[in-house]
Amino acid sequence: MASQDWFDKDFYKILGVSKDISQADLKKTYRKLARQYHPDSNPGDAKAEAKFKEISEANSVLSDPETRKEYDQIRAMGSGARFTAPGRPGQQGGGFEDVFGGMFGQSNARRGSAQGGASFEDLLGGMFGGGDTGFGSSTGGFRGAGGPTRGRDFSATTTLDFLTAIRGETIKLQPAGGASINVKVPAGVSDGQKIRLKGKGEPSPDGGAPGDLVLTVTVRTHPVFERDGLNLRVEVPITFVEATLGATIEVPTLGGEPVRLKVAPGTPSGRALRVKGRGVTTAKGVGDLLATVQVAVPSHLSGEARDRLEAFAAAMPDENPRAELLAKARG
């Protein structure tokens, strides 16, 4: 930023604040304006983009107490005046450099040090803490236009037991080289789900918002239960006799006591029996427990049992349960 701009531009007016505003209130005002005119909030709006750059430029000067002090001093010195380029020898009216020359006891601030005087760049370098007054300089130059930079997001992974994922729990993460973070895992988190932790990522390099921590959850499988949305599924074996004549059986629940379910006579293998409200509980709702019965076929029969089973088969109607299936397959 050229120093002439400090005479020409009233940064307090640009931000709409008084000259005695506190640094804290100045910061609040800038953030409000930055959100209002940020290009992301005004896509394709050239006027908003120009305004954003203008308020960012003003903030880059006034947000630093030392730079703000220097700006106020220069504005007070040059109030109501305009400066032009230096005149030729014999002409009246000193230029911008002449003003600085008068301030610092130089007969001509434009001459180099080889002639016994400080150059214009040397004077500005001395005023602002460095010999380089370039825009964005790392040695005391002005900060570039634009809002503060948001910190980068971090990513992490964690593996949870099936029951922990269903019930929810607060776990502790230990980032490399950083302090531990307590993370509240919501009830019902699913395998592969991502949890975004606001402000737990990389800090901003220039006072902006920190990044986020994106946590990917892996859930271990359960030896009995399987998740199906908000429902839990479990396969329950029943005997041929129970399926044929009906029975009351015990069905396990996740982390609780078994429940008793009635199997109706003639229940086929693969039918699901529903237990209301014993599935996954989340903010979106409550699921059920679906118990799918599987008829267990005995692998060993005594001689007496075999004889009775053959007698039973002989007493059954002569029907082929696959007849309809074969007919449909033939078209």
DSSP tag of 68: H
When pLDDT is averaged across residues 7-18 and rounded to a whole number, the result is 87
Q: Is the domain of 208 the same as that of 258? A: no
Going by C-beta distance under 8 Å and a sequence separation of 6 or more, which residues neighbour residue 293? 235, 236, 237, 238, 243, 263, 267, 269, 270, 271, 272, 273
Q: Is the domain of 81 the same as that of 108? A: yes
Tell me the C-alpha distance between 194 and 289, whole Å: 25
Residue 267 falls inside a structural domain: yes
Identify the residue whose tokens are 């504005």: 75
Stated as kind and residue range, the H or E segment containing 258 is strand 256-263
Q: Which domain holds residue 267?
A: 227-304
Q: Is the domain of 81 the same as that of 20? A: yes
Q: Is the domain of 111 the same as that of 72? A: yes
The size of the chain, in residues, is 331
Q: Is the domain of 122 the same as that of 27? A: yes
Q: Is the domain of 181 the same as that of 201? A: yes
CATH number, domain containing residue 200: 2.60.260.20
For residue 90, what pLDDT is reported?
Answer: 42
Q: Is the domain of 49 the same as that of 9? A: yes
Q: In this structure, are residues 54 and 147 in contact, taking their beta carbons and an 8 Å threshold?
A: no
Residue 134 falls inside a structural domain: no
For residue 72, what pLDDT is reported?
Answer: 85
CATH number, domain containing residue 108: 1.10.287.110
For residue 78, what pLDDT is reported?
Answer: 56
For residue 141, what pLDDT is reported?
Answer: 38
Q: Is the domain of 116 the same as that of 14? A: yes
Overall domain count for the chain? 3
For residue 17, what pLDDT is reported?
Answer: 92
Identity of the amino acid at 32: K
Q: Is the domain of 168 the same as that of 283? A: no
Q: In this structure, are residues 204 and 151 in contact, taking their beta carbons and an 8 Å threshold?
A: yes
116-127 pLDDT, tens digit per residue, is 444 444 434 444
For residue 4, what pLDDT is reported?
Answer: 53
In the chain, % of residues over pLDDT 90: 38
Token digits for 240? 């041929």
For residue 2, what pLDDT is reported?
Answer: 44
Tell me the C-alpha distance between 227 and 217, whole Å: 15
Nearest in space to 145 (alpha carbons), one of 231, 220, 278, 50? 50
Identity of the amino acid at 169: E
Residue 133 falls inside a structural domain: no
Q: Is the domain of 246 the same as that of 283? A: yes
Nearest in space to 18 (alpha carbons), one of 72, 70, 84? 72
Least confident of 30-44, 56-70, 133-147, 259-273: 133-147
